[in-house]
Structure 1
Amino acid sequence: MLLEKNISLQCKNMMKKGSSSFYQAFKWLPRKEREAVYVIYSFCRMIDDSVDEPENSPYTLDELEYHLNKLEEADGHFIWSALRWVFDEFSLKKEPYHIQISGQRLDFVQKSYPSMTELEDYCYRVAGSVGEMLIPILHPNPNQSLIDAGISLGKGMQIVNIIRDIGADQRLGRRYVPLELMKQYGYSEADWHDQVVNQALKEVISALTDQADQWFFEGLRYIDEYPNKSAFAMKLAAGYYREIIAVVKENDYQVFTERAVVTSQRKSHLLLQLTK
Structure 2
Amino acid sequence: MIPDELLPRPFEGDAKEEVRAITKSSGTSFAAGMGILRRDRREAMHAVYAFCRVVDDIADGDADPGEKRAALEVWREEVELLYRGRPVSAVGQALLPTVAAYDLPKEEFLLLIDGMQTDADGPVVAPTRTELARYTRQVAGTVGMLSIRIFGAWKGEVSDRFALCLGDALQLTNIIRDVEEDAGIGRLYLPAELLEAEGVPHRPNAASSSPKLPAIRKTLGAEAEALYDEARLLAREHDRASLRPALMMMGAYEGYLLRMERGGWRLNPGTPLLSSREKLLRGLRYAFFGPGAPQAA
TM-score by length of 1: 0.85
Query: Cα deviation per residue 1:77-104 (whole Å; 9 max; x = unaligned)?
Result: 3111111110111122200111111111
**Structure 1 residue 137: Cα displacement:** 1.4
- 137, 144, 148: which is aligned to 2:161? 148
Matched, 1:18 2:26: yes
For structure 2, list consecutive stretches of 5 or more residues without a partner in the other structure.
1-12, 290-297
Structure with greater proportional helix content: 1
Q: State how far apart, in whole Å, the 1-side matches of 2:62 and 2:204 are.
A: 31
Q: How many aligned positions are there?
A: 268
| Range moving further from structure 2, 180-189 or 146-155 | 180-189
Give the match for residue 99 of structure 2: 87
TM-score by length of 2: 0.79
Q: State how far apart, in whole Å, the 2-side matches of 1:259 and 1:14 are.
A: 26
Give the match for residue 72 of structure 2: 61
| Structure 1 letter corresponding to 2:103 | S
For structure 1, list consecutive stretches of 5 or more residues without a partner in the other structure.
none
- 154, 163, 183: which is aligned to 1:170? 183
| Range moving further from structure 2, 141-150 or 81-90 | 141-150
Give the match for residue 8 of structure 1: 16
Q: Give the root-mean-square deviation of aligned CA atoms.
A: 2.8
CA contact (8 A) 1:195 1:256 kept: no
CA contact (8 A) 1:135 1:142 kept: no
- Does the residue aligned with 2:236 lie in a helix, a strand or coil? helix
Give the match for residue 133 of structure 1: 146
CA contact (8 A) 2:251 2:285 kept: no
Give the match for residue 235 of structure 1: 247
**Structure 1 residue 126: Cα displacement:** 1.0
Give the match for residue 229 of structure 2: 217
Give the match for residue 35 of structure 1: 43
**Structure 1 residue 239: Cα displacement:** 1.0
Q: State how far apart, in whole Å, the 2-side matches of 1:195 and 1:110 are.
A: 15
